[in-house]
Chains A and B, each alone.
Chain A
Amino acid sequence: MQKASVSTTAPTLAHGPKTRLAWVGQGFLLILAVLALYIVVRNLIQDPVQFGQIIIGGLQLGFVYALIALGYTMVYGIVKLINFAHGDVFMVGAFVSFFSVTKFNLESWPAVVFPGLPAAVVVVIGTLTVILLSMIVCTVLAITIERVAYKPLRDAPRIAALITAIGVSFFLEYFGALKFVFTPEFIPYPSPFTVVTFYINNGIQMMVPGKPLPGHVVTFTSIFVIFIVATLLVQFLLQYLVHRTKIGIAMRATSFDKPAARLMGINVDQVISFTFAVGAAFAGLGGVLYAIAYSSIWTQLGILPGLKAFVAAVVGGIGSIPGAFVGALIMGLAENLTMGYISTPMRDAVAFTILILVLLIRPTGLFGEPEKEKA
């Protein structure tokens, strides 16, 4: 011990107030930032329509990430577990809705029960039922996973729970790929309602299928609108839940200090289960919307969105609900802008570079509370 410390006395990473040559590193970052800004601005001026299209695609991707990231951020905020199975819960949500639409025609139940209803109401109620069923199934699944795979390990090293999370994730993917469970195939997803496209040309207009667009215009679909509405709704709901309700207070208390919360009479296990359940419900919602938007599902569709959503949650500051939202939008936009203007393959590189840079500048993420000085 003595020997080792003698040879390396000077701490390399300065934490003290006096820093030298900081401009070199800051200059490096500045060059990167200016370069990125230059690319974006140049392309904005060159072709604003394409730019708008890319932004809309990026936002849509960001909303998908946001719905998944909420579950990650809440679970991590409370039990400090990277719940790798969360992306697969999202996948299950998509599949449940697929079966409820194709096998049981759940989306048209209002028309069967109340034959007189107008078509628009039928579609809305039917779709909401499909979504609700997926959310319920996902909730039940998440609670089961939590009880079986994580709860017994609550006092074990955290890594053990992480490994079981990976195990659960593999299990859901490969068990789902068996022929008699879901399917090993990529299957086209029948949307419970017709997706319409709008374009911006002297105001917002609806595209008529088969009729060509009036030139080069920005388009977006009704799914995009639904995504915005759903994500914002969820966002406000969660804010209310966490800050205004009893269980929200219990969640925050548990996240802040588990033993103390237990002493205060909070049923910590129940709170944790509840957190998993809420996160899974939103993942289920995300799964259905994702399936409708991209209309092709298979058992491994949750892996990458899940991972990106976690990255988004970290960028936004883990444990923070608005942070997850903002982080997800940043990730989605960054990805699409990279795909559009730099190079498609480097998309992930850019995403993770952003993560690393954000963490270097703000170690707890954009919205995370700054860590207190370590003693």
Chain B
Amino acid sequence: MRAYKVFSVLALIAMLVAACTPAAAPTAAPTTPPQQTAPTTAPAAPATAPAASSGGTLKVAILAPLSGGQPTFGVSTRDGALLAIKQWNAKGGVLGMQIVTDVEDSQCLPDPAVNAANKVINQDKIHYIIGEVCSAASIPVSDIANAAKVIQMSPTSTNPLVTVDQNGQTKQYIFRACFIDPFQGKVGAKFAVDTLKAKTAFIMYNQSSDYVRGLAEAFEASFTQLGGKIVGKETYTNTDTDFSAILSKVSTASPDLVYLPDYYNIVNLVTKQAKQMGIAAPFMGGDGWDSADLDVAAADGGYYTNHYDPGDTRPEVQNFLKDYGAEYSGKVPDALAALAYDATNLLLTGIQNAGADDTTKVATALQNIKFDAVSGTITYDAQHDPIKSAVVIHVTGGKKEWVATIAP
């Protein structure tokens, strides 16, 4: 019975404590920033919630997969977003408030992303989230953020269902900075049929990546609609490195074009093996190709659709490339970094335009925004997808050259 007594006493204390608290609530009004390291359950909220307009700080959370299966994407995204925030702070912040960032690891998985979102929303009382990278993590986060009236700006989640719920209703507080799958697929197909005069195409896609699969499906639909023929469709998974079986099918089918809308790491593997197998058909992909680590020798002759052309002379592009290199010891930004940079700028400009730290006003401001971003001039449509033109880049002779700009 001793144990039970201890338990009852504990329970009683807990209840007493719980019962007493409402009375204590109005007395304390903490304003100091949270520097606590309280154990287990959770250190309490910083409780700076609505006081933000008092010229202090504005808190922005960055949700990125910093560990787990996709650390690359997370680090690039975080770096791009942090660069934008640093520049804003150097200019005096937004609405006179310095921006404080809270970086959270969300692993590209629903559970950690939801935990991270719950933490920044409920505990840190942050009203603005930049992230997540993967749609699989952004979708559950968007539900939480929308319900809590927190603005979520996803840099790279391409699944249409991030900003729209299953009934087709637009989520008021959720925005994105990237193309959605159908648009890029359509642009790719149009270019393939009109410019490359491709009649047959072979599609290779990663079945476990939402982004890749979305693009592949969109391309297939548009390409068939435009009169092309899909002569083969093969899938692989995240962890594959040997594509010889698929490529031997490509070689047998000998299509005019191979559509491979994956990230550069897979593109490097596939195009290299394809070259070794003597496959001459050009490869084509999406913005995932955009990276300094793209193996231009292997991908030679390939095309990809992108948000911007790094050779573009617009100051937004050139300044971004310069600043990013200066900040991160000469690194060349990939698509994820560029989009995270754009997403952050869009969000902060939205706050600036709204004139107040009020998420409903910011949502309206973002809806009506017209912003010159690295990836073109962005406006939003009714589904909170950015309207911006896409460019097609040709990889040739070790260089990435602009070949076409296709307006939405």
Whether the complex brings A and B within 8 Å at their CB atoms is answered yes
Q: Which residues of B contact A355 (CB under 8 A)?
A: none
Say if the beta carbon of A301 comes within 8 Å of chain B: yes
Question: Whole-angstrom distance between the alpha carbons of A184 and B71 in the complex?
Answer: 5
> In the complex, are the beta carbons of B268 and A216 less than 8 A apart?
no
The yes or no answer to B252 lying at the interface (CB within 8 A) is yes
Contact check, A53 vs B277: say whether CB atoms are below 8 A apart: yes
A295 touches B269 (CB 8 A): yes
A186 B207 Cβ-Cβ under 8 A: no
What's the tally of chain A residues with a CB closer than 8 Å to chain B?
46
Tell me the complex Cα distance, A56–B67, Å. 35
Q: Which of A195-254 contact B (CB under 8 A)?
A: 195, 197, 199, 207, 209, 212-213, 216-217, 219, 221
Residues of A within 8 A of B237 (CB): 345
With a CB–CB cut-off of 8 A, which chain B residues contact A300?
69
Give chain B nearest CB distance to A195 CB in angstroms: 7
**Of residues 280 to 338 in A, which have CB atoms within 8 Å of B's CB atoms?**
290, 294-296, 298-301, 303-305, 336-337
In the complex, are the beta carbons of A197 and B74 less than 8 A apart? no
**Which secondary structure dominates where chain A touches chain B?**
mixed
- A50 sits at the interface (CB 8 A): yes
CB distance from B216 to the nearest CB of A (A): 13
Q: Does A160 contact B (CB under 8 A)?
A: no
Cβ B236 vs Cβ A186 within 8 A: no
Q: How far is the CA of A213 from the CA of B276 in the complex (A)?
A: 11
Q: Which residue of B lies closest to A337 (CB)?
A: B245
Q: B276, A195: Cβ atoms under 8 Å?
A: yes
Q: A185-B72, A295-B272 are in contact. Are A345 and B295 (CB under 8 A)?
A: no
CA–CA, A344 and B237, complex, Å: 9
- Complex CA–CA separation, A187 to B334 (angstroms): 13
Q: How far is the CB of A338 from chain B (nearest CB, A)?
A: 8
Contact A221 B278 (CB under 8 A): no
B67 touches A53 (CB 8 A): no
* A54 lies within 8 A of B268 (CB): no
Is B327 at the interface (CB under 8 A from chain A)? Answer: no
A residues in contact with B277, CB < 8 Å: 53, 197, 219
Of B72, B244, B276, the residue contacting A54 (CB under 8 A) is: B244
A336 touches B295 (CB 8 A): no
Chain B residues with CB under 8 Å of A358's CB are none
Contacts of A221 in B (CB 8 A): 276
B positions within 8 Å CB-CB of A: 67, 69, 71-72, 74-75, 207, 234-237, 239, 241-242, 244-249, 251-252, 263-265, 268-269, 272-273, 275-278, 280, 293, 295, 298
Q: List 21 A-B contacts (CB under 8 A).
A: A54-B248, A57-B248, A184-B71, A184-B74, A185-B293, A188-B295, A207-B278, A212-B278, A216-B252, A217-B278, A290-B241, A294-B241, A295-B269, A295-B272, A298-B72, A298-B265, A301-B241, A303-B239, A305-B241, A340-B248, A344-B246
